[in-house]
Chains A and B, each alone.
Chain A
Amino acid sequence: MYVAVKGGERAIDNAHAWLAEERRGDTDIAEMSIAQIREQLALAVDRVMAEGSLYDPDLAALAIKQARGDMIEAVFLIRAYRTTLPRFGASAPIDTGAMACDRRISATFKDLPGGQVLGPTFDYTHRLLDFALAAEGLEPSEAPEAAADMADLPHVTDFLAQEDLIQREPEGSDTPRDLTREPLDFPTDRPLRLQALSRGDEGFVLSMAYSTQRGYGRNHPFVGELRTGKVAVEMDIPELGFAIEIGEAVVTECETVNQFTGSKTEPPQFTRGYGLTFGHCERKAISMALVDRAMRWAELGEDNVGAPAQDEEFVLYHADNVQASGFLEHIKLPHYVDFQSELELIRRLRADAMAGQHQEAAE
């Protein structure tokens, strides 16, 4: 008996109702609040903000809750919401030199003005499951606190720049193109590449960076500096005629110092890779800096060794997890029509081939 597959509206509604039930889970367990997610799954929130390209911890926490912890789904929710927001303008460039750092480390100098600040890091924790966390209600003992040093922390690369040991980056005067408002067009420029990397999938950017370390476009990076903390966001208000602070954002910045042997026209000098993300996403920021550096081969007159990380089309077209997962998962959609046409083709080709074989056998 033939039963047509019909995915009526009711099926969809029922599926969504079931999803809502699954999302809530066992109702004997207390429901999670947005504030709990924001405070206790802060790094997940940060990742969703970074890849969602929207700085709003509460919305990111809501997206994580709605997505049942599926990070790419949460990023997707944020992106779709972001599209609908009106644009009032662009902020002034943030000054990471004036960052109130929670963490600031350099792998290139043992000590430097402002010092090494470890901050709240997993580094040097032993990765042993802490069963004490399984017992609820235990408050951590208070971490010791020093008086805040209000002085600006200079960038490590500034020290190298004083001696001209590191390439100076040209002062960009133009407002960079906005990846979310203009179609991607190749060849790109560095601001566009950095935007794409900053909202790119952490796993993808990490793997690309890792591939450069393993020799696919090696660029000898040192973490010149990694810093995380709050920066002021300022905006020019035309009615006022000057910039005012409109808020604060936590960002993570990584500058790598990379070897460069010099070319015919340039003396040997260090060069930079740059990474910046919303929130505390240092794995992503470091990865981004490595990939950024790898894609700069042309402007620095280096060889293109054919490494994936050097290919801006490859990296930029495949870094976005919302695009990637959408296209990947669309193969779940019905493809009866294309499949049917392939089916007919294969049947016909096979029939022709069989007929040919029979003929040969007969001869």
Chain B
Amino acid sequence: MTDQAYNFAYLDEQTKRMIRRAILKGVAVPGYQVPFASREMPMPYGWGTGGVQVSAACLTPDDTLKVIDQGADDTTNAVSIRKFFEKTAEVAVTEKTSEASVIQTRHRIPEEPLTEDQILVYQVPIPEPLRFLEPSEVETRKMHSLEEYGLMYVKLYEDISRHGEIATAYAYPVKVEDRYVMDPSPIPKFDNPKMESAALQLFGAGREQRIYAVPPYTKVVSLDFEDHPFDPSKAPHPCALCGAEDSYLDEVITDDRGGRMFVCSDTDFCAGRRAAGFTGEMTNTRPAPVDTEAMA
């Protein structure tokens, strides 16, 4: 890529304006999926093209960008997207949640509460929460416009009747501002309560050509039954490195005899705690320096 050949943040201004219009509409109608003319991006569909377009439309030269995938800044696709914006927008980048003004994420919400000065951009694979109940887009749009969500509850009912609980662990559907049922993207349900946030949350689905939004301080309720309330549970362990009891954990298999450990999925959060002196049971067996050579 010859960097100078492209406009700031890759997309041309015309396209960014089109995306901003869709974002504004999304903010005005929280939870409503706004169709937008998604562009072909230089990365594959399904790898964050929606999030990248939304980020591109939001970024200004003064912004500081953080990109995470699975909660971590150093996963390959996060690295790749961060590099893309470093190259095409020359914005400052950070791994620190508190320092970022725009955070693009896949599958997680940072543990640290976000502020009014931040925008969280989600990458969304399938924006339609009703899709696996009703395959037709024409039908699902009608269901949203008429607020016909009985079928969604039938799904939850079926879960409880079969498993004794609502067997949805991620992409757990929410109702936004008492109106639209929305897919929160495949974040673990543990993260759902964090969606009632001070930050602006934007969702971009490139392949499916949809943008939607949850404005700051918007009511976001995870669907449930009165007698089977929503439960944002997680693995019942503390982080082995920083000892955090309240963060979402990755499970890491450590040997071939069933050994495993649980560590924070949010790498910045974990590093911050360790820097502040918190320890976990395996703090002394810190990970060895990474041999990236071996991965190529």
The 5 closest A-B pairs by CB, nearest first: A326-B45, A14-B296, A330-B46, A326-B44, A7-B76
**In the complex, A10 has a CB within 8 A of chain B:** yes
Contact count A vs B, C-beta below 8 Å: 174
Interface string of B19-50 (1 = CB under 8 A from A): 00000000000000001111111101111010
Asked whether, in the complex, the Cβ of B261 is within 8 Å of the Cβ of A8, the reply is no
Asked whether, in the complex, the Cβ of A14 is within 8 Å of the Cβ of B292, the reply is yes
Interface core residue of A313, A325, A333, A335 (most chain B CB under 10 Å):
A333
Within 8 A of A (CB), among B237-286: 248-252, 254, 261, 263, 265, 282, 285
CB distance from A4 to the nearest CB of B (A): 4
Within 8 A of A (CB), among B130-188: 136-138, 163-165, 167, 169-171, 186-188
Residue of A nearest to B261 (CB): A2
Asked whether, in the complex, the Cβ of B251 is within 8 Å of the Cβ of A9, the reply is no
* CA–CA, A10 and B170, complex, Å: 32
9-residue interface stretch from B67-75, B94-102, B113-121, B219-227 = B67-75
**In the complex, A302 has a CB within 8 A of chain B:** no
Partner pick for B288 among A1, A18, A82, A328, CB 8 A cutoff: A1
Asked whether, in the complex, the Cβ of A337 is within 8 Å of the Cβ of B137, the reply is no
9-residue interface stretch from A109-117, A226-234, A343-351 = A343-351
If the complex has contacts A3-B290, A8-B292, A338-B170, are A333 and B77 also in contact, measured as CB distance less than 8 A? yes
Asked whether, in the complex, the Cβ of A185 is within 8 Å of the Cβ of B292, the reply is no
If the complex has contacts A337-B108, A337-B248, A340-B250, are A8 and B46 also in contact, measured as CB distance less than 8 A? no
Interface string of A160-187 (1 = CB under 8 A from B): 0000000000000000000011111111
Asked whether, in the complex, the Cβ of B167 is within 8 Å of the Cβ of A329, the reply is no
* CA–CA, A234 and B170, complex, Å: 53
* CA–CA, A79 and B44, complex, Å: 11
Interface core residue of B10, B76, B83, B186 (most chain A CB under 10 Å):
B76
Interface residues on A, range: 35 or more
**In the complex, B80 has a CB within 8 A of chain A:** yes
**In the complex, B112 has a CB within 8 A of chain A:** no
Asked whether, in the complex, the Cβ of B41 is within 8 Å of the Cβ of A327, the reply is no
Asked whether, in the complex, the Cβ of B35 is within 8 Å of the Cβ of A183, the reply is yes
CB distance from A2 to the nearest CB of B (A): 5
If the complex has contacts A7-B74, A323-B207, A336-B265, are A186 and B137 also in contact, measured as CB distance less than 8 A? yes
If the complex has contacts A313-B138, A323-B45, A340-B249, are A11 and B76 also in contact, measured as CB distance less than 8 A? yes
CB distance from A317 to the nearest CB of B (A): 8
**In the complex, B92 has a CB within 8 A of chain A:** no
Asked whether, in the complex, the Cβ of A327 is within 8 Å of the Cβ of B37, the reply is no
Interface of A is mostly: helix
Asked whether, in the complex, the Cβ of A11 is within 8 Å of the Cβ of B296, the reply is yes
Q: Could you say which residues of chain A place their CB within 8 Å of the CB of B263?
A: 4
Asked whether, in the complex, the Cβ of A337 is within 8 Å of the Cβ of B107, the reply is yes
If the complex has contacts A84-B12, A349-B167, are A7 and B79 also in contact, measured as CB distance less than 8 A? yes
If the complex has contacts A83-B39, A337-B187, A337-B248, are A18 and B296 also in contact, measured as CB distance less than 8 A? yes
CB distance from B143 to the nearest CB of A (A): 14
* CA–CA, A344 and B235, complex, Å: 6
Q: Could you say which residues of chain B place their CB within 8 Å of the CB of A80?
A: 40-42
Partner pick for A2 among B77, B252, B296, CB 8 A cutoff: B252
**In the complex, B217 has a CB within 8 A of chain A:** no
Q: What are 30 A-B residue pairs whose CB atoms fall within 8 Å in the complex?
A: A1-B285, A1-B288, A3-B290, A4-B263, A8-B290, A9-B292, A11-B295, A12-B79, A12-B83, A83-B41, A86-B12, A183-B36, A183-B210, A186-B138, A187-B138, A313-B136, A313-B137, A322-B40, A326-B45, A329-B44, A330-B46, A330-B47, A330-B125, A335-B107, A337-B70, A337-B250, A338-B170, A338-B188, A349-B164, A352-B164
Q: Could you say which residues of chain A place their CB within 8 Å of the CB of B189?
A: 341
CB distance from A299 to the nearest CB of B (A): 17
Q: Could you say which residues of chain B place their CB within 8 Å of the CB of A334?
A: 69-70, 75-77
Residues of A within 8 A of B (CB): 1-4, 6-15, 17-18, 76, 79-80, 82-84, 86, 180-187, 313, 317, 322-323, 325-330, 333-338, 340-345, 348-349, 352
CB distance from A86 to the nearest CB of B (A): 7
6 extra A-B contacts, CB within 8 A, seeds A313-B136, A330-B45: A14-B295, A14-B296, A183-B35, A183-B38, A335-B107, A349-B164
CB distance from A328 to the nearest CB of B (A): 8
* CA–CA, A54 and B96, complex, Å: 42
Asked whether, in the complex, the Cβ of A183 is within 8 Å of the Cβ of B39, the reply is no
Asked whether, in the complex, the Cβ of A84 is within 8 Å of the Cβ of B6, the reply is yes
* CA–CA, A83 and B43, complex, Å: 12
CB distance from A272 to the nearest CB of B (A): 26
Q: Could you say which residues of chain B place their CB within 8 Å of the CB of A6?
A: 74, 290, 292
Asked whether, in the complex, the Cβ of A338 is within 8 Å of the Cβ of B80, the reply is no
Asked whether, in the complex, the Cβ of A340 is within 8 Å of the Cβ of B235, the reply is yes
If the complex has contacts A3-B288, A341-B169, are A336 and B254 also in contact, measured as CB distance less than 8 A? no
CB distance from A204 to the nearest CB of B (A): 15
Asked whether, in the complex, the Cβ of B248 is within 8 Å of the Cβ of A8, the reply is no
* CA–CA, A182 and B38, complex, Å: 8
* CA–CA, A330 and B186, complex, Å: 13
CB distance from A346 to the nearest CB of B (A): 9
Asked whether, in the complex, the Cβ of A8 is within 8 Å of the Cβ of B74, the reply is yes
Q: Could you say which residues of chain A place their CB within 8 Å of the CB of B76?
A: 7, 11-12, 333-334
